Amino acid sequence: MGVATDIKLFQDKIDADAWRVEYFDEDGGCYVAIFAGPAAERRARDYREALAAGRVARVDLAGGE
């Protein structure tokens, strides 16, 4: 399982009420999370902080790793 690197947090370009967190793992996998609704920015920032601190684990639903 890869480690999140180069984590980006930004306001969505299409929906101004949504916030995005995007990052790549060490294997080159790209991950995107979109937060909308109440406190979207705060939730996106919390998620980004948790990723950066290593408190979020990736779940592989495809049965890989």
**pTM summary value:** 0.80
At 3-20, the pLDDT tens digits run 677 899 999 999 999 999
Domain positions in the chain = 5-52
Q: Is the pLDDT of residue 50 over 80?
A: yes
Q: How far is C-alpha 48 from the geometric centre of its chain's CA atoms? A: 6
Helical ranges in 24-65 per DSSP H? 40-52
Which residues touch 20 (CB under 8 Å, ≥6 apart)? 8, 9, 10, 11, 12, 32, 33, 34, 35, 44
Identify the pLDDT of residue 2.
58
Mean pLDDT calculated for residue range 27-53:
94
Q: Which of 17, 56, 61, 63 has its CA nearest to residue 40?
A: 17
Q: Is the pLDDT of residue 45 over 70?
A: yes
